[in-house]
């Protein structure tokens, strides 16, 4: 069983399991799935203030905080005990393209040449990690939710704002990968 858990799962298995969370949450408790709202819940719990945005019954959403804690614990268990020491296998064309950007260490799920404390203090690393983090946070708040809330939960419940947000996520992703990323990688 441990060997099965250490191997990458096919998209159609992992995707189906993620997709099944939607009906499970709706059937078991009429709950909506999303991760980004947890920052609001934490702020409402820890920073009692007179800010109207944080004045609501956050305790009704505490299950979602446990969900996030479960994600963190699961990630720790997976990386500590179920990690696969084999290098990540990518297509040779992608490896050649990445090498053109001086990204050669492909031993992790994310390239250490970009995502490390050392690279954070380079212009490229700062733009990718800090600038990208800011844009993701701003976009999440502006869109009224994150990709999991809109693209998994919102689309499955036929919400028009979620369809618009998901299309925007995809367009932004295509633009970033094909227009902006090559420029940023050359920094």
Q: What is the extent of the structural domain holding 124?
A: 114-187
Task: Check residue 161 and give its pLDDT.
Answer: 93
Q: 79 and 5, same structural domain?
A: yes
Q: 4 and 47, same structural domain?
A: yes
Is 161 domain-assigned? yes
- pLDDT category of residue 26 using cuts at 50, 70 and 90: confident
Task: Check residue 54 and give its pLDDT.
Answer: 83
Report the domain count for the chain. 2
Instruction: State the Cα–Cα distance between residues 137 and 131, nearest whole angstrom.
Output: 10
Torsion-angle region of 108 (φ positive above 0: left; ψ -120 to 50: alpha; else: beta): beta
Length of the chain: 187
85-102 pLDDT, tens digit per residue, is 777 788 999 999 889 888
In the chain, what is the straight-line distance between the N-terminal and C-terminal CA atoms, in Å?
Answer: 45
27-65 pLDDT, tens digit per residue, is 888 888 778 888 888 888 888 777 888 888 888 888 888
Q: Which of 6-15, 80-89, 158-167 has the lowest mean pLDDT?
A: 80-89
Q: 118 and 79, same structural domain?
A: no
90-147 pLDDT, tens digit per residue, is 899 999 988 988 888 887 778 888 888 988 999 998 999 999 999 988 888 888 888 8
């Amino acid at each position: 069983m441990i060997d099965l858990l250490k191997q990458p799962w096919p998209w159609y298995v992992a995707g189906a399991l993620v997709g099944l969370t939607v009906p499970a949450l709706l059937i078991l408790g009429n709950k909506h799935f999303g991760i980004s709202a947890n920052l609001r819940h934490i702020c409402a719990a820890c920073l009692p203030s007179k800010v109207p945005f944080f004045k609501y019954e956050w305790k009704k959403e505490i299950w979602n905080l446990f969900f996030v804690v479960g994600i963190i614990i699961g990630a720790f268990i997976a990386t500590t005990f179920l990690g696969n020491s084999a290098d990540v296998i990518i297509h040779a064309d992608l490896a050649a393209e990445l090498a053109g950007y001086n990204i050669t260490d492909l031993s992790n799920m994310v390239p250490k040449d970009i995502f490390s404390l050392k690279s954070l203090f380079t212009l490229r690393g700062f733009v990718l990690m800090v600038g990208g983090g800011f844009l993701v946070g701003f976009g999440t708040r502006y869109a009224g939710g994150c990709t999991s809330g809109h693209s998994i939960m919102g689309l499955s419940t036929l919400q028009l704002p979620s369809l618009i947000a998901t299309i925007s996520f995809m367009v932004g992703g295509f633009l970033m990968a094909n227009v902006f990323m090559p420029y940023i990688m050359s920094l």
